[in-house]
């Protein structure tokens, strides 16, 4: 079935919100740094994961487990233990980034379905097919860096299902290939499961405006009329050759509703909604819009145009109240 | 322990690039990594040009390694990659897993580059089985994390560590240099040529923070492990990678060579020729931009 809707579940409430509003699958993480949203107060212990699985399976939906950080040598067993638990709980798939962990999963749980995480940084069919040949990976999530024709070229040259990010926070860098956060704070998505961690954030009201800092590094300064966003490192304003601007990326969200007909046509297996750190209310609203949009495009791709009400609803939820097609649309690059 | 000259991460004119490698033939480095690893639009040297440079350096007694592009986006990127693998005259450094697939299919021994994200011995063992004979940890890996990994490293695997230069931290589909000049990436006018050591990015209070290098983002600080050579030796690290800079590279190489030979005082001269402040936080398990204050004081 093409264009499966895969929604974020940072908590049991968010999971139920996603399922109740039409997600085909949800993805979650365990409550530790084995996943790339290792935030305090987020994620699932084993009992909650079991309850989430029961809730989803009773309604014919799937649960995917993100184990998408890179296992560290001295705590390797934390990651293999998580794979074992995923298999025992009956997860529909695990989303992995690390080749060593994939080898472990194949050896010990040959029936467990494997997805290649976006953190695996596979941007070509040669890379995707590597994981297929060696570990039997069945689906790959592509980093948010390829244009749509480049995505199509991957789809045409692999039997691995391709999943794309459709909506939510926009990584401007190749996922899995960004160490900006650890350069500034000591912790990166790859090794600690966090980007621009909240514990390193400082806000300060000064005579020149509200300042946001990450581990002491000034990321931005906001005037009276400016709305301050979460200080994600790549979305700060910096000075380059005497000019101060968003040198890497504006605080904006990815929204690909416009591209749904093309994604359907090229055989994209699933659309992923970012945001395990977001509230159940957010998950409800985003899931509802995307369910309606995917149903509409499947019903009639030729005449599909995103309803203005959907776009308005999503823009309200977007970071910086604006959105972009990101790299799928060539001029963004 | 010996020295490697890492791949050139910037975009220099043909003349400057050739002159750099002509000089490098006489420097005390055991090996040289060659090729364009950052951006496929950089075309002043095509693969045949790089192969010419490779032949000359090999004739001068250097081990030559061809480094592959880190972010593969298009079919033409894959074409270049396949040509590198097919050439077969030189060792290849694989910088993403598509290259690993092609190299292992060709039964070619290879170097596992720092962007393959090897954080544990299991993954290194996967690579060893596919033909990797040397590897580099991601630049964020600390001394203690590397020590834990090496306790269980596969037999015969050589370790190389990025030991000097602005740190390559991130890759994007977007070109930040073109963005700075308000140019589309497809018509970037090759502005990288104007920034031989990258385009400095500072915070709004003027503190150097990062370096823009086309689609790559680097640190502003210069990673410098020259004072850590004893601990690198203790770990059994075989080679130290020195990343090219536009000026004084010979002095950088010679300073490391002197310290390797026991002249620890030679480390002090390095500060004068570095294109940024010294940082070594990553090696000590801290934020990358920090530096060992006690030693540098």
Between B201 and B292, residue with greater pLDDT = B201
Q: Do A243 and B77 touch (CB under 8 A)?
A: no
The span from the CA of B297 to the CA of B293, in Å, is 6
Q: Is the pLDDT of residue B295 over 60?
A: no
Q: Do A98 and B123 touch (CB under 8 A)?
A: yes
* Chains A, B: CB pairs < 8 Å: 217
The span from the CA of A38 to the CA of A187, in Å, is 11
Partners of A247 on chain B (C-beta within 8 Å) are 176, 179-180, 201, 212
Q: With beta carbons less than 8 A apart as the criterion, state whether A224 and A140 touch.
A: no
**What's A30's DSSP letter?**
B
State mean pLDDT over B142-164: 98
The residue of chain B with its CA nearest to that of A244 is B204
- Beta-bridged to residue A203, according to DSSP, are A212
Q: What b/e sequence results for A101-132 when a residue is b if at least 16 CB atoms lie within 10 Å of its CB, and e otherwise?
A: bbbbbeeebeebbbbbbbbbbbbbbbbbbbbb
Per DSSP, helices labelled H in A59-91 are 76-89
Nearest CB partner across the interface for B203, out of A129, A134, A217: A217
Q: With beta carbons less than 8 A apart as the criterion, state whether B34 and B53 touch.
A: yes
Helix, strand, or coil (residue B207) = coil
The span from the CA of A262 to the CA of B123, in Å, is 36
Q: Where are the domains of chain B?
A: 2-167+222-272
**Residue whose token pair is 């954080």:** B119
Q: How does DSSP assign A90-145, residue by residue?
A: T-SEEEE--HHHHHHHHHH-TTS-EEE-GGG---SHHHHHHHHHHH---EEEPPTT
Q: Do B140 and A190 touch (CB under 8 A)?
A: yes
**pLDDT for residue B293:** 57
**Bridge-based pairing state of the strands B216-224 and B158-172:** antiparallel
Partners of A223 on chain B (C-beta within 8 Å) are none
B50: which 2 tokens? 């790089």
| Residues within 8 A of A (CB atoms), B 166-225 only | 167, 169-176, 179-180, 184-186, 199-207, 209-210, 212, 217, 219
What CATH number should be reported for the domain whose range is B2-167+222-272?
Answer: 3.20.20.70
CATH class, domain A4-170+252-332, is: alpha beta
**pLDDT for residue A329:** 80
Q: What b/e sequence results for B39-68 when a residue is b if at least 16 CB atoms lie within 10 Å of its CB, and e otherwise?
A: bebbeebebeebbebbebbeeeebbbbbbb
**Bridge-based pairing state of the strands A238-240 and B199-202:** antiparallel
The span from the CA of A65 to the CA of A52, in Å, is 11
Taking the CA atoms of residue A113, residue A117, residue A123 and residue A126 in that order, the dihedral angle to the nearest 10 degrees is: -30
The span from the CA of B138 to the CA of B135, in Å, is 10
The model's confidence at residue B237, banded by pLDDT at 50, 70 and 90, is: very high
Please work out, in degrees rounded to the nearest 5, the angle formed at the alpha carbon of residue A184 by the alpha carbons of A181 and A189. 20
Q: Where are the domains of chain A?
A: 4-170+252-332, 180-245
pTM of the model: 0.96
**Bridge-based pairing state of the strands B208-213 and B216-224:** antiparallel
Helix, strand, or coil (residue B219) = strand
Nearest CB partner across the interface for A218, out of B77, B101, B203: B203
Helix, strand, or coil (residue A9) = coil
Q: Do B120 and A98 touch (CB under 8 A)?
A: yes
Contacts of range B186-194, beta carbons closer than 8 Å, 24 or more positions apart: B186/A330, B186/A333, B188/B41, B190/B11, B190/B41, B190/B42, B192/B10, B192/B11, B192/B39, B192/B42, B193/B11, B193/B12, B193/B13
Instruction: Kindly report, residue by residue over B104-129, the tens digit of the pLDDT.
Output: 999 999 999 999 999 999 999 999 99
State mean pLDDT over B1-26: 98
To which H or E segment does residue B27 belong? Answer: none
* Average pLDDT taken over every residue of chain B: 96
The model's confidence at residue B84, banded by pLDDT at 50, 70 and 90, is: very high
List Cβ neighbours of A169 (8 Å cut-off, separation of 6 or more). A232, A253, A254, A274, A275, A319
**pLDDT for residue B296:** 46
List Cβ neighbours of B181 (8 Å cut-off, separation of 6 or more). B188, B189, B191
Taking the CA atoms of residue A214, residue B197, residue B22 and residue B161 in that order, the dihedral angle to the nearest 10 degrees is: 0
Half-sphere exposure of B204 (CA within 13 A, CB side): 18
The model's confidence at residue B297, banded by pLDDT at 50, 70 and 90, is: very low
Helix, strand, or coil (residue A264) = helix
pLDDT averaged per 10 residues in sequence order, chain A, 333 residues:
94 98 98 89 94 98 97 96 98 98 98 97 98 98 92 97 94 95 97 93 94 97 89 95 94 91 96 95 97 97 93 82 78 78
**pLDDT for residue A227:** 86
């Amino acid at each position: 079935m093409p264009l499966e809707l895969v929604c974020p579940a940072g908590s049991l409430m968010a999971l139920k919100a996603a399922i109740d509003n039409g997600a085909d699958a949800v993805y979650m993480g365990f409550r530790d740094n084995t996943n790339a949203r290792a935030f305090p107060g987020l994620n699932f212990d084993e009992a909650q994961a079991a309850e989430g699985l029961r809730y989803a399976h009773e309604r014919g939906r799937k649960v995917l487990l993100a184990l998408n950080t890179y296992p560290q040598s001295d705590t390797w067993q934390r990651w293999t233990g998580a794979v074992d638990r995923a298999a025992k709980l009956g997860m529909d798939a695990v989303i992995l980034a690390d080749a060593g962990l994939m080898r472990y999963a194949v050896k010990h749980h040959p029936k467990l379905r494997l997805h290649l995480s976006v953190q695996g940084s596979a941007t070509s069919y040669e890379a995707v097919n590597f994981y297929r040949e060696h570990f039997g990976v069945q689906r790959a999530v592509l980093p948010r860096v390829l244009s749509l024709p480049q995505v199509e070229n991957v789809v045409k040259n692999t039997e691995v299902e391709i999943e794309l990010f459709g909506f939510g926070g926009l990584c401007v860098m190749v996922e899995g290939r960004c160490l900006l956060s650890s350069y500034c704070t000591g912790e990166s998505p790859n090794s600690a499961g966090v980007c621009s961690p909240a514990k390193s954030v400082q806000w300060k009201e000064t005579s020149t405006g509200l300042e946001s800092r990450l581990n002491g590094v000034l990321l931005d300064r906001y005037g009276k009329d400016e709305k301050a966003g979460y200080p994600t490192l790549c979305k700060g304003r910096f000075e380059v050759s005497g000019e101060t601007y968003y040198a890497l990326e504006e605080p904006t969200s990815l929204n690909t509703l416009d591209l749904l007909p093309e994604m359907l046509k090229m055989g994209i297996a699933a659309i992923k909604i970012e945001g395990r750190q977001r509230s159940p209310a957010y998950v409800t609203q985003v899931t509802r819009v995307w369910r309606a949009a995917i149903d509409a495009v499947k019903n009639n791709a030729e005449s599909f145009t995103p309803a203005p009400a959907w776009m308005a609803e999503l823009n309200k939820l977007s970071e910086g109240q604006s959105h972009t097609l990101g790299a799928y649309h060539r001029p963004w690059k | 322990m010996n020295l490697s000259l890492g791949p050139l991460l910037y975009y220099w004119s043909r003349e400057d690039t050739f002159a750099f490698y002509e000089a490098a033939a006489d420097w005390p480095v055991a090996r040289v990594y060659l090729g364009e690893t950052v951006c496929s639009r950089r075309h002043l040297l095509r693969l045949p040009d790089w192969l010419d440079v490779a032949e000359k350096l090999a004739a001068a007694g250097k081990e030559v390694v061809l480094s592959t592009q880190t972010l593969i986006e298009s079919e033409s990127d894959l074409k270049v990659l396949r040509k590198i693998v097919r050439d077969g005259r030189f060792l290849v450094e694989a910088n993403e897993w598509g290259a690993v697939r092609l190299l292992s299919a060709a039964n070619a021994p290879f170097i596992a580059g720092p962007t393959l994200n090897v954080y544990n011995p299991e993954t290194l063992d996967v690579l060893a089985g596919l033909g990797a004979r040397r590897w580099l940890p991601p630049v964020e890996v600390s001394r203690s994390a590397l020590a834990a990994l090496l306790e269980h490293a596969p037999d015969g695997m050589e370790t190389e560590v990025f030991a000097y230069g602005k740190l390559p931290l991130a890759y994007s589909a977007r070109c930040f240099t073109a963005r700075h000049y308000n140019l589309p990436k497809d018509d970037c006018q090759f502005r990288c040529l104007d920034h031989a050591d990258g385009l400095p990015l500072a915070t709004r209070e003027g503190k150097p923070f990062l370096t823009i290098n086309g689609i790559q983002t680097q640190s502003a600080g210069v990673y410098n492990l020259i004072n850590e050579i004893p601990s690198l030796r203790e770990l059994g690290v075989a080679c130290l990678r020195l990343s090219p800079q536009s000026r004084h590279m010979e002095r950088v190489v010679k300073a490391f060579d002197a310290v390797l030979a026991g002249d620890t005082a030679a480390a002090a001269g390095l500060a004068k020729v570095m294109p940024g402040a010294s940082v070594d936080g990553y090696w000590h398990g801290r934020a990358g931009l920090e530096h060992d204050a006690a030693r540098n004081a």
